[in-house]
Amino acid sequence: MPDVTLTTLQALKQKGEKITMLTCYDATFAKVSSQAGVEVLLIGDSLGMVLQGHDSTLPVSVNDMAYHTASVKRGNRGALIVADLPFMGYATVDQALQNAGALMQAGAHMVKIEGTAWLAESIARLAERGVPVCAHMGLTPQTVNILGGYKVQGRQEAQARQMVADAIALEQAGAAMLLLECVPVDLAGEISRTVKIPVIGIGAGPQTDGQVLVLHDMLGVSLTGRMAKFVKNFMDGQAGIEDAIAAYVKAVKDVSFPAAEHGFSA
């Protein structure tokens, strides 16, 4: 068992202490980040972009995810490990069960899948069989070709009401955690107060129960030269990477990150 469990995260939400999550793809950063106090390490399928150099997350395979999950597991010092199921890795319930099994056996403690209320069936079956699930809502990068780009989601009122309803449905289906990406600040706050499970945000403002960033982004290194509005470079003013990650943990805990300039309005 990791030191940080689902129970730890639920307790943090209950006492109003922010949860710190950061992407991680290898053993050395797993050690550094977990020792700096990051509670949740996410093997994000963002590795398709930041490690592999693709222009989206779609080319990532289950094998890619299992390889990096196993690497993170070896370096981890007590954090909870969450791994993304990649594009088309959970198109059916059977695929979700099989591929989640592979990632759990590689070292994940939870899997993350992107979608809306349609995820309910897979979430229920996975939870019954011992796999906690984080549901990723809002801007879901695996759906970029449907969304027509990487855009803020839930700005129209009807869309916002649907997102609240979907969040409730996925909690009822047995989701262990929610992740909201690029959602207006007030909507993310409403969802976080509505569900009892922890809600992690990225580009979703300060009212969620925790924050996540892509490691490379918060270290200020980029393949494309573009940085999203919600990112902060935590290397600024720091002597090294360990200090930058510790500064991220501190800023999430004392709610100085994200600031108003990192959020989106409706």
> In the annotation, is 181 catalytic?
yes
Instruction: Name the nearest CA neighbour of 251 among 37, 10, 28.
Output: 37
Antiparallel, parallel or unpaired: β 40-43 and 19-23: parallel
Residue 232 marked ligand-binding: no
Residue 45 binds Na ion, judged by CB under 5 A = yes
Q: Which stretch binds ligand KIV (CB under 6 A): 38-46, 63-71, 165-173, 219-227?
A: 38-46
Residue 202 binds ligand KIV, judged by CB under 6 A = yes
Which two three-digit tokens encode residue 240?
Answer: 């090294």
Between residues 18 and 136, which has the closer beta carbon with respect to ligand KIV? 136
Residue 84 binds ligand KIV, judged by CB under 6 A = yes
Q: How far apart are CA 232 and CA 264, in angstroms?
A: 15
List Cβ neighbours of 82 (8 Å cut-off, separation of 6 or more): 21, 40, 41, 42, 43, 108, 109, 110, 111, 112, 134, 177
Residue 103 binds ligand KIV, judged by CB under 6 A = no
Residue 114 marked ligand-binding: yes
Between residues 214 and 244, which has the closer beta carbon with respect to ligand KIV? 214
Between residues 163 and 179, which has the closer beta carbon with respect to ligand KIV? 179
Residue 45 marked ligand-binding: yes
CA 1 to the chain's CA centroid: 20
- Whether residue 81 contacts residue 31, with contact meaning beta carbons closer than 8 Å, is answered with no
Residue 212 binds ligand KIV, judged by CB under 6 A = yes
Among the listed residues 44, 75, 115, 138, the single contact to ligand KIV using CB under 6 A: 44
Q: Interface with Na ion by CB under 5 A: which residues?
A: 44-45, 84
